[in-house]
Amino acid sequence: MSDAVIRFGDEELTLPVHVGTEGEKGVDIGKLRSSLGLVTVDRGFANTAEGRSSVTYINGEEGILRYRGYPIDQLAEETSFLEVCYLLQYGELPSKTELDDFEESITRHTLLREDTKHLFEAFPHAAHPMQILASATSALATYYPDKLDPLDAEAVDISARRLIAKTPTMIAWSYKYRVHQPYVYPDNSLDYGSNFLNMMFSVPAEKYVADPVIVKALNMLLILHADHGQNCSSSAVRLVGSGHANIFSSIAAGIHALSGPLHGGANQAVLEMLDRIVASGQDVDTVVKRAKDKDDPFRLMGFGHRVYKNFDPRARIIKQAAADVLDSLGVDDPLLEVARQLEEVALEDDYFVERKLYPNVDFYSGIIYRAMGFPTDMFTVLFALGRLPGWLSQWRELSADPEAKIFRPRQLYVGPEERDIVRVEDR
Ligand code: SDX
């Protein structure tokens, strides 16, 4: 591969170019500042790779997404979420024995300590579930002080399994506290998804059996959200981990990053947007017009993506699943039709076509979550549950990387020149 050459003034610097598995090229600017006194400015790191990763491949132009080389549509159809949790972290799909052992180890760690109930009960009933989940995830670190060393492989492995095992329980218990219902304990006879749904929706007064349609849809949705390379929240997890913070603190940082409406919080924002459209009787043309108006802060939530400039393969799968799940459940949600109309109008509009704005993973997912019985402000914790194995795999990859360095970007200072203090009495 030929090198890259940067000319600055009468100086010239030759920089090596590395090539990825799928032919992506990356110029190594490690010597840029020491040789030419230059730093790069790249808002939002849109053109910058911090390093190499073997976890997930995304081709935004062709709408390709693969976890450890496996296409997302095959994984969504053929595997279980725990298989994907294993694949993302260990790099290979588990054998039957490996999967049985992994499932067993997750099942054995689903219980929370009784005193964590005080944590949930310290919050207002109306507290946002993402704030509670981030706090509870941080709190887990205080229960396992001997398993926090990021360089201790055994400690990292058990902590990762505890997080996968206990996050559904934390989500469900925070929900039960909010709706003033008794906590439901994990049931080790149930599979991962059924156990979560049971903890969420069962009540002592009657038998609860999770609808297989919902269990299957949940499994698929968790897989579709499981990883996505160096997105905002995964980058937050890596950044916090780069300082050798423990895995619980790093994942909590990812949860906070995901909560933003430009990122994972978009799935909640989409439903609220669709609800407002139906409630106001606004027609979709008016909504699309507002989304294009630079003087209007309104954006079409669930549309656009930093990487996908063709289509988000996950959105296509979820759109079809939304129709199938609602049909199977006998749910007639007018929001699905409004979403379809919005997509149709937007995809024929030059503003969206020129900017290559397509529905992303968040555009249709909330419609399914709502049909499954989840409240709107819990959609993003469902995204977090799905993304957990991705965060763990990204964090573990960085922690195990001998060339990893603490994240410490440069800046271009544009503040005041040097000046002397004037004492307060003289100001
Ligand atoms: C996720 O990175 C990942 O992988 C994330 C994710 C994952 O799995 O981790 O895929 C999950 O976060 C999906 C994205 C969810 N967010 C939303 O749906 C919020 C709405 N979308 C946007 O705000 C926006 O599209 C982003 C944040 C997703 C991407 O922002 P970029 O890449 O920084 O693009 P941009 O803001 O610079 O927009 C480019 C142009 C601008 O117009 P111009 O200045 O060129 O005239 O497109 C416009 C934007 O105004 N634009 C939109 C729009 N999204 C971009 N205009 C109207 N509605 C939108 N939704």
pLDDT digits (tens, 9 = 90+) for 301-351: 999 999 999 899 999 999 999 999 999 999 999 999 999 999 999 999 999
Ligand 1 mean position to 360 CA, how many Å? 9
- Beta carbons within 8 Å of 127's beta carbon, 6+ residues apart: 178
Q: How far is CA 160 from CA 65, 137, 238, in A?
A: 24, 12, 15
Atom number in ligand 1 closest to CA 312? 10
- Indicate whether residue 357 lines ligand 1 (CB < 6 A): yes
For residue 137, count CB atoms less than 10 angstroms from its CB and return exposed for 0-12, middle for 13-18, buried for 19 or more: buried
Ligand 1 mean position to 305 CA, how many Å? 5
pLDDT digits (tens, 9 = 90+) for 9-64: 999 999 999 999 999 999 999 999 999 999 999 999 999 999 999 999 999 999 99
Residue 1 pLDDT > 80, yes or no? no
Radius of gyration of the chain (CA): 23
Phi first, then psi, for residue 168 (nearest 5°) are -60, -40
- Indicate whether residue 193 lines ligand 1 (CB < 6 A): no
The neighbouring-strand residues paired with 359 are 303
Give the β-pairing of 64-67 and 70-71.
antiparallel
CA 423 to the chain's CA centroid: 49
Ligand 1 mean position to 249 CA, how many Å? 27
- Indicate whether residue 291 lines ligand 1 (CB < 6 A): yes
E-strand ranges in 203-308 read none
What pLDDT is recorded for position 142?
97
- Indicate whether residue 372 lines ligand 1 (CB < 6 A): no
Strand ranges across the sheet with 70-71: 56-59, 64-67, 70-71
The answer to whether 363 touches 300, Cβ cutoff 8 Å, is no
375: helix, strand or coil = coil
Q: What residue's CA is closest to ligand 1, atom 51?
A: 304
pLDDT band with cut points at 50, 70 and 90 for residue 2: confident
76: helix, strand or coil = helix
The answer to whether 112 touches 169, Cβ cutoff 8 Å, is yes
Q: What residue's CA is closest to ligand 1, atom 48?
A: 355
Residue 203 pLDDT > 80, yes or no? yes
Q: What residue's CA is closest to ligand 1, atom 14?
A: 263
Atom number in ligand 1 closest to CA 264? 12
Q: What percent of the chain shows pLDDT beyond 70?
A: 100
Out of 228, 258, 299, 391, mutate this one to test ligand 1's pocket (max ligand atoms within 8 Å of CB): namely 299
Residue 103: Cβ within 10 Å count: 18
- Beta carbons within 8 Å of 345's beta carbon, 6+ residues apart: 284, 285, 288
Q: How far apart are CA 290 and CA 296, in angstroms?
A: 6
Q: Can 305 be counted among the known catalytic residues?
A: yes
Residue 4 pLDDT > 80, yes or no? yes
What pLDDT is recorded for position 339?
95
- Indicate whether residue 388 lines ligand 1 (CB < 6 A): no
Structure tokens at 67: 């976890």
Which among 12, 49, 52 is positioned nearest to 32, based on CA atoms? 12
Out of 360, 362, 383, mutate this one to test ligand 1's pocket (max ligand atoms within 8 Å of CB): namely 360
Q: How far is CA 94 from CA 88, 218, 337, in A?
A: 11, 21, 40
DSSP symbol at 282: -
Q: What residue's CA is closest to ligand 1, atom 47?
A: 355
- CA 210, 216, 217, 219 dihedral sign is positive
DSSP symbol at 94: P
The better pLDDT of the pair 7, 1 is held by 7
Q: How far apart are CA 227 and CA 222, in angstroms?
A: 10
> What is the CB-side half-sphere exposure of residue 145 using CA atoms within 13 A?
1
Q: How far apart are CA 198 and CA 186, in angstroms?
A: 8
- Indicate whether residue 271 lines ligand 1 (CB < 6 A): no
CA 302 to the chain's CA centroid: 14
- Indicate whether residue 305 lines ligand 1 (CB < 6 A): yes
Q: Which of 227, 228, 305, 312 is catalytic?
A: 305
Q: How far apart are CA 241 and CA 407, in angstroms?
A: 9
pLDDT digits (tens, 9 = 90+) for 349-397: 999 999 999 999 999 999 999 999 999 999 999 999 999 999 999 999 9
**312 residue type, one letter:** D
Q: Which of 283, 362, 401, 426 is catalytic?
A: 362
- Beta carbons within 8 Å of 397's beta carbon, 6+ residues apart: 53, 54, 55
Atom number in ligand 1 closest to CA 231? 2
Q: How far apart are CA 316 and CA 333, in angstroms?
A: 19
- Indicate whether residue 289 lines ligand 1 (CB < 6 A): no
What pLDDT is recorded for position 321?
95
> What is the CB-side half-sphere exposure of residue 150 using CA atoms within 13 A?
24
pLDDT digits (tens, 9 = 90+) for 59-81: 999 999 999 999 999 999 999 99
The answer to whether 8 touches 38, Cβ cutoff 8 Å, is yes
- Beta carbons within 8 Å of 19's beta carbon, 6+ residues apart: 1, 25, 26
- Indicate whether residue 301 lines ligand 1 (CB < 6 A): yes
Ligand 1 mean position to 283 CA, how many Å? 23
- Indicate whether residue 29 lines ligand 1 (CB < 6 A): no
